[in-house]
Structure 1
């Protein structure tokens, strides 16, 4: 069955904006703190390791997107280069991982606002759900409008993070300092795993393959440029965080907690709110494209593949995506959602690397070694997360594959 295709209207600058808007947010304002809690003085090295694994995965994603430029990312790559089980599992994990990331971003935004409101926890969770609903309305308005909002959010985010870095460099350090014991290898790798999630928005560019003009040329360049910019930014923010040596990193840590009242904190506060809402916006759009691809193939109900009359949005897929994110946000817990996202997205990119290894030699423009290193890195980081998260993630994979097998054999009968 032939489905109507989305218009190819996104150029290189637009693809970079999409990537930056998907990455810079929760990672800069939240996950670097979680990484510091585990890696302490080794934080910068954990960022470099996460960046290297992400670069390997980014090159694999670029390779795949260049030879198979369609919406759906590794879901589609798994089907084409591996098997229907691998393809379905990739889509299943992507929806879980990115929905959890979006929920974490919305929850972090709500908790930030609540620093002034002092509402009870249930009201904060309700606020996060309302934020997701509002952003869903923006996505339904079409990609072009979302891109314009993205550009504004990225500019404000960079300015706010610059204010934090300069504040950290100029302000006197706190009177008390933390004396760290030696960081264990497992904690260091767990920190890198949490920080890896802060990079994975580059995959958002690959999942938009159907809407990017000249995808073979633009997608690889957009991913590499985005990765370089984000790594430099994370190193600067991490350096600033280490200058302040926070005594405690809580489950709801956000950079503003380190800053005293004043205009600088207000600027970072506003930047954090807008950046994380921007991440949620991009994730609603990106996850909905995977839902769209799965519906087109029949792994999800076919009716969810319907586009609007202008072919600029997929309303049903977008609404289903928002519903999943709202359900996850309903459980609360920023760090819990972020850790779950880390495990599922690492397994997702492990599948990406395996798929990239199966690209025909005449179509390759990266060496297979990059994909091998990416695969090893993903699996090594995934198993270093806490046992409960690994167990829940594996259970989700088993349940998803069982359901897929049931539907697959039923449709083949």
Structure 2
């Protein structure tokens, strides 16, 4: 495969225009950490953006950062962490799940748009993208958005670029909103709830006035041997963090987790009040700061389903559904497939690892998910499976036509990441 390294936006323009002239589709990569996700693409040309790795501007007092799309996400996070700031939507680190080293680039973070547990409070990646410079499938550079929140006139193209998986344009630089890190963090924990009861407990917490920033449920299977960091935390890592000899959880006991963040005095007061609200569901234990942070990082990165863990050979689905339907949907999928599930977003996000089959059990998953009013994406599977299964949830006819019109307005010859989103088509 030909690898085309670029040094700046002008190089990107030239490469795209040459690809248009020769009708040669391009695969767009930064560090290539998520190349395993999506339909396999038929191309022999790779547009490598890794050299576009500079931080153009960082203004901590203004809570904004402008950075080139190929900048390593880990480096940018380290930079803003030095100023006690963060990306509030908690971008998911897929390295453990996919078995690929590194956390990718800023452009990849925006292109995939995967947000972590704080999504329920802070919104997703598209809500924090203020502006972008990009090159369209016409080979033309364009700018969308700017450097402040209220600056959009006309179409807000940033929203389209986020989660487009590189099929609309090649981003070269982005401006993002950053937020201060919370002073304190506490996680309220309930033990031994079944999936449906846990769903009700999370709903009660999210419906309370106590500003919850995370709500997750880990069934017993999340703590299986070699199941990742959560198993280690459960067996030994948190015993010194006021959890006693039980640790976080075990194969005999599920845990339901509710996170509170903010000023220390406020977090302490809200924890007491929320514990009373959750009392009907059982005794509440509390994890503080370091222990709490470690647990939510493991949930964010889906560590129980890590590629090197006991379920590493199993396909993994990412299911988004109405939160109230999450418990019943996840419980039914686990029961009928023999798979394992993890709940996030108060039940609105389900990660499901299912026993391997040639179709990754796509027909069953999609039938159940659609009945619940949700959609499902196959995040991890072998290339033969991805060739024969729709990785992204098929859209209804009208929506599919609209999506194709939008894509065609950016890239009429389907030069960029051709075939990544839709099986058996040129888009």
Give your verdict on TM over 0.5: no
More strand by share: 2
If the length of structure 1 is used for normalisation, what is the TM-score? 0.24
If the length of structure 2 is used for normalisation, what is the TM-score? 0.24
Higher relative contact order (CA 8 A, sep 6+): 1
